[in-house]
Chains A and B, each alone.
Chain A
Amino acid sequence: MPTRTAVIASAVGLHARPAGLFVGLAGEAVRSGVTVTIGRPGEDPVNAASILSVLALGARHGDTVELSVEGADADTVLDRLVDELSIDRDSEGS
């Protein structure tokens, strides 16, 4: 199963708006028929389309997470998700 690691770029960590955007993207992928999980390295991964599970990871700025995608176009989906986690949305203003 294709797996990638990413470092949380958002200054507030993986919650609030950054988590919402990430979960929204993962949810789109899941609706197209793939499975997406996220977790801390060495721990049980959780459903990346579940906002509550993602928040409960408590991932902070600079933490490393592992993403796995199973299904069609897994690498393309992984690229998009890793990109999303690598943007600091808070520094973009609103």
Chain B
Amino acid sequence: MSLVVSTLTGVAASPGTVLAPAVAWDPGVVAVAPAADLDDASARVVADLQFRATAATTAEGTAVLEALVMFAADPELLALAKSRVTRGESPEDAVRAAAASYADQLRGLGGYLAERAPDVEDVGARLGDALAGRAPAGLPRPGHPYVLVARDLAPADTALLDPAVVVGIVTEQGGPTSHTTILARSLGIPAVVACAGARAALDAHEVLLDGTRGEVHVDPPADLVADARAREARAAERRAHSRGPGTTADGVAVKLLANVGTVDEAAAAAAGDVEGIGLFRTEFLFLGRTEEPSVAEQVDTYSSVLDAFGERRVVFRTLDAGSDKPVPFLGLGEEDNPALGVRGLRTAAVRLDVLERQLQALAEAATRTATQPWVMAPMVSTAEEADAFAALARGAGLHHVGVMVEVPSAALRAGQVLRGVDFASVGTNDLAQYALAADRQLGDVAALLDPWQPALLDLVALTCAGADGHDLPVGVCGEAAADPHLAVVLVGLGVRSLSMAPRAVAGVRSTLAQVPLSVCRQAADAARAAADPAGARAAVASLLGA
């Protein structure tokens, strides 16, 4: 007797719906003639990666592959492997071990270099495969568009991915912040990740992939397909006609703002249909520098951003450094656990003068451009810290002073923490990391960081309740604000500005415009009543009839 599974559920990773045949794919299963020796293996892997780099579909993909090419040709990597072979190891084991030893060195250095360690191990595995006679299998080419189903996808696999052929992605592993998710969103391909049993259940079946709800229907009936198509067409139509300031269907204003990290990004956002910047990360001025940027340099940078946005709102976040975001001149020590260490506003305890000069520069930029920037501090944990920051910023001559709510204590005690400020901005990515005790850098716990976690929504609700007593506006910046259904929930919780990647604004605006505040509140209640993220998503999707 066969068990018929009609719908699989996973984590909604990239929105949109698509109907296509599914093709299950396992990397690295094609048998070829083994490479003669380590140099031959290196030449083969280099040639394969170079071909992939020239054919890559995104600039990011090309850059990743070009780095892998250099690793595969590295003379010291090959020398280390050869010396292990002369000591009796097989070439395949030797090259994997050599790559692992370099990967360990990079991990020990932390930060950006540690993030390259898996790429070095990937190259070691590719060299080992070439020696053992296994060639990396390319993505399937069935001759028609298909939904790619895999255990997980590595950067080298996906760099060649053609969105006209791969029209949807389902992976068994991965999470809301994994490589597959980021890639699928950047290419606009609907995707569901963390979907257990997907390869066995979906291969060779017609599937209806719903990347908005995180569902995959196997051999779907015609009426389900017709519904999905009609829904997609309506959503596309709404996005195409969506313009101007954000509001609910009954006219409650919800500011739609951009997250920005550089002056170039700010200029690009200024040209778009956004109501301002909800999060300007000032780190780029500071990261990796041995000397503090001068006040004059800071004033010029902040002024150029304020000039570009004119009357529109611009929210600056003061320096968010820590041992994982190194700013050498701050003199912060190495820490075993940077997420819980001296970071964000806490660095002011070490170098108050740096924050003072940044606030001075922001105030001078405000005067020069005759604008009123909003300024907020990152990683505020207590009322005392919030009060101290507010006093400092107002003393510098700034008039819109706020704090980020990223630490659960600040959300739990929002009434006290927000007593002396003008606004609050919830950073959902860090708030999830701290509330769920799940490291943002660790793929194995990524599913815990789902922005639909009801515990995270409870903390947003508490923040709004605390702010309400002071009549303060609460905004959200982070992944959560870019998800149209979750945006409805956040507005229902009391949030009145949403800051996101600029390309997400149209989708959020068109969805919000369909929903009156009363229904936003019902959606918020439904999401918080759910036991888990999938339940919250499903409850809101069914309430919104989407």
What is A's interface to B at a CB cutoff of 8 Å?
11-13, 15-17, 20, 23, 30, 46-47, 49-53, 55-56, 58, 60-62, 93
Instruction: Compute how far the CA of A61 lies from the CA of B326 in the bound complex, rounded to whole angstroms.
Output: 11
- B288 is an interface residue with CB less than 8 A from chain A: yes
- What B residues does A46 contact at CB under 8 A? 76
- B252 is an interface residue with CB less than 8 A from chain A: no
Interface string of B47-82 (1 = CB under 8 A from A): 000000000000000010011001100111100000
- What B residues does A53 contact at CB under 8 A? 74, 76
Residue contact A61 to B328, C-beta cutoff 8 Å: yes
- What A residues does B326 contact at CB under 8 A? 60
Question: Given A23-B70, A51-B70, are A11 and B287 also a contact pair (CB < 8 Å)?
Answer: yes
- What A residues does B29 contact at CB under 8 A? none
Instruction: Compute how far the CA of A30 lies from the CA of B102 in the bound complex, rounded to whole angstroms.
Output: 22
Q: How far is the CB of A9 from chain B (nearest CB, A)?
A: 10
- What A residues does B83 contact at CB under 8 A? none
Q: List 12 A-B residue pairs with CB atoms under 8 Å apart, sorted by A's residue number.
A: A11-B287, A20-B66, A52-B76, A52-B106, A52-B120, A53-B76, A56-B102, A60-B288, A60-B290, A60-B328, A62-B289, A93-B264
Partner of A12, one of B71, B264, B288: B288
Residue contact B70 to A15, C-beta cutoff 8 Å: no
Instruction: Compute how far the CA of A13 lies from the CA of B102 in the bound complex, rounded to whole angstroms.
Output: 18
Question: Given A12-B112, A60-B326, A62-B290, are A20 and B76 also a contact pair (CB < 8 Å)?
Answer: no
Residue contact A55 to B113, C-beta cutoff 8 Å: yes
Residue contact A20 to B70, C-beta cutoff 8 Å: yes
Size category, B interface: 20 to 34
Q: Which residues in chain B, 179-222, are within 8 Å of chain A measured between CB atoms?
A: none
Q: How far is the CB of B43 from chain A (nearest CB, A)?
A: 15
Q: How far is the CB of A52 from chain B (nearest CB, A)?
A: 4
Residue contact B289 to A47, C-beta cutoff 8 Å: no
Instruction: Compute how far the CA of A34 lies from the CA of B63 in the bound complex, rounded to whole angstroms.
Output: 28
Question: Given A55-B116, A60-B288, are A49 and B106 also a contact pair (CB < 8 Å)?
Answer: no
Given contacts A47-B76, A52-B76, 17 further A-B contacts (CB under 8 A): A11-B288, A11-B289, A15-B116, A17-B63, A20-B70, A30-B75, A51-B67, A51-B70, A51-B74, A52-B74, A53-B74, A55-B116, A61-B288, A61-B289, A61-B290, A62-B291, A93-B264
- B90 is an interface residue with CB less than 8 A from chain A: no
Instruction: Compute how far the CA of A53 lies from the CA of B109 in the bound complex, rounded to whole angstroms.
Output: 13
Partner of A15, one of B66, B113, B120: B113
Instruction: Compute how far the CA of A47 lies from the CA of B105 in the bound complex, rounded to whole angstroms.
Output: 16
- What A residues does B105 contact at CB under 8 A? 56
- What A residues does B74 contact at CB under 8 A? 50-53
Residue contact A58 to B113, C-beta cutoff 8 Å: yes
Instruction: Compute how far the CA of A57 lies from the CA of B22 in the bound complex, rounded to whole angstroms.
Output: 46
- What B residues does A15 contact at CB under 8 A? 112-113, 116
